[in-house]
Every structure is written in C-alpha cells, then in structure tokens.
Chain A
Amino acid sequence: MKASFPNLGYDTYALKTFVEDLGGEVILAPPNSRRTVELGALHSPELICMPYKITLGNMLEAIELGADTLFMAAGARKCRFGYYHYLHERALKDLGKECRFIAVTQYSPFDFVFKVMPGIFGVSPFRVIRAVAKLLAKSRLTQEFRQQLNRKMALDFDGAEQAKPKALSVIERAHTLKEIQAARGEVRRIFALNGSEPAIRLGLVGEIYFMIEQFASQEIEKELGKMGAEVVFERSLYRHIRHLLSSDPAFVRSGRLARRYLQESPGGEAIRTVGEAVYFQQQGLDGIVHIFPFTCMPENIALEALQKLSEETGLPVLSLSFDEHTSRTGLLTRLEAFVDLVKRRKLGRRLHRN
C-alpha cells in the first residue's frame, strides 16, 4: 500500500508517523503550492470552500507521485466538510484516477481503534492504540513548536527564520515516544525564548482546517509575526484529537464562554471560535484575528457574534475570509492596519492611565 493523505500543516509529519506505525508506506503530497490550489480548483465546484479545493489538489498531486491509497477525514457531524470525501471520490473517478479511497470517520473512536484501522492495515487494536498515543505526543510537540515559533517571530523574526528549519528537522526525526519527549526539550533549546513579551499579542480563531494548515491563510501567523505581533491559538490537531477522545477541557470551556454571544451551534466549529475569542479577551490579549474560508456558513455566523463581542468589550476583531482569489496585497494592507490600530490603542490606553 502506498498511502497518502492531504497535507495538514506542521502535523503532516505526525500523520505520516501514524500511518507508518500501522505498517503503511507513505507518499506525502508535495508541499501546498499555487499549483495545488489551481489543480484542485479546476476540478471543484466554484463556490465550494477552500479546504475542499486544496485537499483535492493534494490528492491529485499525490497520485502523480504514485500513491494508490488515499485517506480523507469524514464525519458529517460538523459541516459539509463531512461529505467532502464522497465528492473527492467522485471527482477522482471522473478524472479516471485509479486508487483506493478510504474515508475515516472521526466521531467514533471505538470503531476507529477496534474495526476501521485493524480492518485496513491488518493490525491488532493494541497497535492502533499505541499509534494513537504517539500521534497525540507528536501533535502536542508540533503545537508547542508553533507556539514558540510564533513568539520568536514577534520578538526576533530573522532568528526565528533560522531556528525554524532546525526545529522542524528535530520533529521530523523523532519517531519513538522517548525521542518525541527528548525533542520537546531540543525544540525549546533551539528557540531559546527568554521570557520577554512581544509588543502585542493577538488571538487567532476560526475554521479548523485554516487554523492548522497555514497555506490556506497565506501564512498569516508568519505575516503577523513579521509585524511584531505574537499569534496565540488554541485549535490544533492535538486539541482536535483530544476533543474526539472526549478529553479536551478547552472544548467544554469554549461552549460555556460562547453562550453569551451564541447559544445554539450553527454547525462547524462556530461555538469554539466564539468561545476561544471570549477566552482570549479574558486573558488580556490585544485583539482577535478570525480566519475562515469564503462561503463558510458557520464561521459567518460566528463573525456576527464576534462583532457583538467587539462592541461590548472594545476588543479589536479582524475577520478575514479566504479563497484562491484572495489578493495578497489587500490582505497585507488589512493586517498591517490592524496591527497598527492595536498598537496605537494599547499605547493610547497607557497614556490615558498615566
């Protein structure tokens, strides 16, 4: 089996290790590029969201490299994303691409461990559990990496650019639980943060694919870091898996905090988006950046709730929707203006107090 799956930001390598642990050979799709999006968009419905287009592009590029088995997350509990695998499979078939397509339902961990994975790879449930434990450890490592990277970029952008490839190769090389544990310390040493605080800190919230795969948002964390703003986030693959295993306290907290602005879930992860924004506000962050795919219904509803939050608390909120036509110039102008605004606001508040 030459298995492949859509890229998922820094967590691509965590997923690769997972499949290899179960005995699969992995062919990674090439890193996301303009070609990926163009290829995906060419064979997609016009108004479908960007996660669909990029993941389809990933699959097509992986097949070019010889992948014969494709994995795609499924589970229609959240939003139309749950149905994408049907469309992917149809699109690939229409294009005459021969491959085995495996949709992995996210919302029944029991079946995942005892039926689905043992069925596909012919391994014992025990081995699946061990692989999941390692996936958790490795995705926690990438989460910590991203947190440190974001802070480092805000403090010393060039230093962060130099440290990043070093830290990533440490992460890539860590295979056993012991190595992963050692890599955590190694990554901390590479970034060498000394506890100093960046000028401003912004909370990033939004649709989960955008929260994890930075390519979709045109590397928004990097752009904000370059402008001296540290990006703080809650959502990650690690948190998502914890949530699927019903062991994510942040999920419960988000639901509680969101209630003031959004009582019912409109689908997707809107509740989490709003709950995390409220949490960041309570933590004293300087502003919220909200990212989501163009035509995403749940996040558009979250946007209204975030505006209410902004009105009530005075917290600056910038909502940005993306598709493959999003102009980079326009995006950078807005980010720059937002960072300036947040800085001036913080400075002004200090002046008022003194």
Chain B
Amino acid sequence: MVEGYIGIDVGSISTKGVVVDREFNVLASRYLRTQGNPIDSIRRLLAELGGQVDSGVRILGAGTTGSARRLAGVMIQADIVKNEIITHAVAASHFHPEVRTVIEIGGQDSKIIILRDAIPVDFAMNTVCAAGTGSFLDHQATRLGRPIEEFGALALKAKNRVNIAGRCTVFAESDMIHKAQLGMSTEDIVAGLCDAIVRNYMNTVAKGKEIHPLILFQGGVAANVGVKKAFELMLGHEVLVPEHFLVMGAVGAAIVASEETDGKGTKFAGFDVADTAFETRAFECDGCPNRCEVIETLREQQVIDRYGDRCGKWSKL
C-alpha cells in the first residue's frame, strides 16, 4: 500500500484537495466550488478524494489551509492548520526550487510571496479591496455572456489593448461598458481588463517588492492566459504557471503536514468524515462591552471548537 499525505485548501470561492505520496507526487486532486457552504464542500471533497485513491493510500498526515482552514482542520482532525502564504510558498519551492516570486490570485484575495534560496522572506496580501481577483473576472465573463474558461483566450486575440480604469471594480465595469458603447471589440476590452487587473495588482499588493525570476503564477486566475500574458508584458519576464497551479495551496498543506507529523502518527479522521454531520453557529457574548462574536463548530451536536473571543473564556473547551 502507498503511504502519503492529504492537504485541503478551502477558499472563499473554491475548495481544493490533494493526496500526495511521500515524495509529494500528486496521486489525486479535486477542485470544487465552495458555493458559500464550506462544510458541504469539504464533505464532498473528501468523498471524491476518497473515491479517487480508493483506500489504496495510507494517510500519514493531514494539513489544511485557506480562509476556512480552521473549520476544515477541525472537521478532518488535521495535524496542522497553516495559513495560505506559507503553504503556497512551500509548494512553489518544492516543484521549482529556483523560484523567487510567487504571484497568487484567488477568488477573493491576491498575494505576492518573495523567496530567496527556497525560503519565503517577504509577502503581501490585498487588504481592503478585492478589485482584480477571480470573482470580478467571473462576474465580467457572465456579464459579457462568455464562459470564464474562454475569457483569457479572448484577450490573446486583441489587436489594440484598450485602457480600462482598474482602481476599483465598480469603475472598471462602468469603463468597460463605456468602451463597448464606443464600439470597441470585446477582445480588445477583455485584454484591457487583464491589463487593469495586473496594474492594480502591481500598484497595491506588489507595491515596493523586488520581482525577480523565476516567477510562478498560482491560484484560480492563473488559468486565465490573458492575465498571464498581461503579467509578462508588464514585468518583462516569462511567467510560469506550474502544473498543479489550482491546488498548490493544498499541496503545500500536505507538505507541512509531513513536516509536522514526521513519523509521529496522524490524527486524521479518515475519508468517511464525509458522512458525519457538522454545524457551525455564531453568537455574541454579552460578558463585557467588547461583545465578541464567538463561533463554534459542532460534530453530531457536540461542540468541538470555539473561537473569536478576545479573553479566552469560550475558546477553552
């Protein structure tokens, strides 16, 4: 029987999972839409991953990452819960040890990670604004009636890249409509949109960072060849989209799980968690004027995790 690790990355838009062997070769990988219900998507993910490896893999360690990493970690009883910066960096330097820049654009956030000698040395994430992330591209593709999968290829056919205001998605959209009303082609406008996204990224997230090759482009938006091209034009370097760009966070989570367990044995609950009932609920504590929002996760009606309180009176179970 093969031995390996499982990594799960639950983001705002998508839920990703991989099973890797001891050398971190990907044995199984799944990409699902979170659809606003991470509990359900994590369950489906486990069922599908379990189906793919078909009980032929003994899991030595489990790791979770992404914005719902804590919930996912509690559900599958992960050995380690790690933030998405480190997991993306770890996976990038595993597949491409010479990487010095990671550009990651997901559904609702974007980040840059700077590495030197395969060690992350600096990072930044978008703060208050989601302009130029996957959700916005999704929205525009729907508005123009084009499938998101073909959106990038459309941009490559552009003859004159149109200038689109990229500071804010609302203004970008009205600018796109304005340019369309002037009679400009959809291809040119979409190319302009890709440029605007890259410009926005460079001026906010990547501001002040020294970008050196090798540059990896990861996350859902890396599927968009138009944005990749726009990055290359802007940076003057080739931008590499790694083979497992969609699930790099999940692979990273599996790698840190192997570092964490290191032969100690795993707490992983198994793929049949898919059949267990989970529930999350929130309440406002009225113990003091801070009125913290406390979030708790229940497994089969039993509270298994609680957090969100500043003082710690709820989180200690």
A residues touching B (Cβ–Cβ < 8 Å)? 30, 33-36, 161, 219, 304, 307, 310-311, 314, 316-317, 329-330, 333-334, 336-338, 340-341, 344-345, 348, 352
Q: Report the Cα distance A34→B284, complex, angstroms.
A: 12
Most buried by A among B67, B86, B289, B290: B289
Verify B119–A348 contact, CB threshold 8 A: yes
Verify B125–A334 contact, CB threshold 8 A: yes
- Nearest 3 pairs of A and B residues by beta carbon: A33-B289, A337-B85, A35-B289
Q: How far is the CB of A293 from chain B (nearest CB, A)?
A: 14
Q: Tell me the residues in window 116-146 of chain B with beta carbons closer than 8 Å to chain A beta carbons.
A: 116-123, 125, 127
Q: Report the Cα distance A153→B125, complex, angstroms.
A: 27
Contact with A along B278-293 (1 / 0, CB 8 A): 0000000000111100
Q: How far is the CB of A144 from chain B (nearest CB, A)?
A: 25
Knowing A336-B83, A337-B83, A337-B86, say if A316 contacts B127 (CB, 8 Å): no
Residues of B within 8 A of A340 (CB): 82-83, 85-86, 120
Verify A337–B208 contact, CB threshold 8 A: no
Q: Report the Cα distance A332→B187, complex, angstroms.
A: 41
Knowing A33-B288, A330-B127, say if A316 contacts B83 (CB, 8 Å): no
Knowing A310-B122, A336-B83, A337-B85, say if A304 contacts B208 (CB, 8 Å): yes
Verify A333–B83 contact, CB threshold 8 A: yes
Q: Which residue of B lies closest to A39 (CB)?
A: B289
Verify A316–B289 contact, CB threshold 8 A: no
Q: Which residue of B lies closest to A343 (CB)?
A: B86
Verify B120–A345 contact, CB threshold 8 A: yes
9 A-B pairs besides A317-B122, A333-B85 with CB distance below 8 A are: A310-B122, A330-B127, A337-B83, A337-B85, A337-B86, A340-B82, A340-B85, A341-B123, A348-B118
Q: Report the Cα distance A320→B75, complex, angstroms.
A: 32
8 Å CB contact of B291 from A34, A310, A314, A344: A34
Q: Which residue of B lies closest to A344 (CB)?
A: B119
Q: How far is the CB of A263 from chain B (nearest CB, A)?
A: 19
Q: Which residue of A lies closest to B69 (CB)?
A: A333
Residues of A within 8 A of B288 (CB): 33
A-B contacts, 9 listed (Cβ < 8 Å)? A34-B290, A35-B291, A329-B67, A330-B125, A330-B127, A333-B83, A341-B121, A348-B117, A348-B118
Q: Does B300 have its Cβ within 8 Å of any Cβ on chain A?
A: no
Residues of B within 8 A of A36 (CB): 289
Q: Tell me the residues in window 20-75 of chain B with beta carbons closer than 8 Å to chain A beta carbons.
A: 67
Q: Report the Cα distance A352→B119, complex, angstroms.
A: 11
Knowing A304-B208, A337-B85, say if A345 contacts B119 (CB, 8 Å): yes
Residues of B within 8 A of A314 (CB): 116, 121
Q: Which residue of B lies closest to A349 (CB)?
A: B119
Verify A219–B289 contact, CB threshold 8 A: no
Q: Which residue of A lies closest to B293 (CB)?
A: A328
Residues of A within 8 A of B208 (CB): 304, 307
Q: Does B243 have its Cβ within 8 Å of any Cβ on chain A?
A: no
Q: Report the Cα distance A337→B85, complex, angstroms.
A: 6
Residues of B within 8 A of A336 (CB): 83
Residues of B within 8 A of A352 (CB): 117
Verify A30–B85 contact, CB threshold 8 A: no
Q: Does B96 have its Cβ within 8 Å of any Cβ on chain A?
A: no
Q: How far is the CB of A174 from chain B (nearest CB, A)?
A: 26
Q: Report the Cα distance A36→B127, complex, angstroms.
A: 25
Q: How far is the CB of B186 from chain A (nearest CB, A)?
A: 35
Residues of B within 8 A of A341 (CB): 85-86, 120-123
8 Å CB contact of A219 from B116, B119, B121, B310: B310
Q: How far is the CB of B145 from chain A (nearest CB, A)?
A: 34
Q: Does B275 have its Cβ within 8 Å of any Cβ on chain A?
A: no
Q: How far is the CB of B74 from chain A (nearest CB, A)?
A: 16
Contact with A along B100-124 (1 / 0, CB 8 A): 0000000000000000111111110
Q: How far is the CB of B111 from chain A (nearest CB, A)?
A: 9
Verify B83–A30 contact, CB threshold 8 A: no
Verify B289–A311 contact, CB threshold 8 A: no
Q: Tell me the residues in window 182-203 of chain B with beta carbons closer than 8 Å to chain A beta carbons.
A: none
Residues of A within 8 A of B83 (CB): 333, 336-337, 340
Q: How far is the CB of B105 from chain A (nearest CB, A)?
A: 16
Q: How far is the CB of A224 from chain B (nearest CB, A)?
A: 14
Verify A337–B123 contact, CB threshold 8 A: yes
Q: Report the Cα distance A304→B289, complex, angstroms.
A: 37
Most buried by A among B86, B122, B210, B312: B122
Verify B121–A345 contact, CB threshold 8 A: yes
Q: How far is the CB of B262 from chain A (nearest CB, A)?
A: 14
Q: How far is the CB of A159 from chain B (nearest CB, A)?
A: 14
Q: Report the Cα distance A173→B134, complex, angstroms.
A: 57
Residues of A within 8 A of B312 (CB): 161
Q: Report the Cα distance A311→B289, complex, angstroms.
A: 43
Q: How far is the CB of B92 from chain A (nearest CB, A)?
A: 13
Q: Tell me the residues in window 262-314 of chain B with beta carbons closer than 8 Å to chain A beta carbons.
A: 288-291, 310, 312
Q: Report the Cα distance A161→B315, complex, angstroms.
A: 14
Q: Which residue of B lies closest to A30 (CB)?
A: B289
Q: Report the Cα distance A317→B125, complex, angstroms.
A: 14
Residues of B within 8 A of A307 (CB): 208
Residues of A within 8 A of B310 (CB): 219
Q: Report the Cα distance A30→B120, complex, angstroms.
A: 43
Verify A311–B125 contact, CB threshold 8 A: no
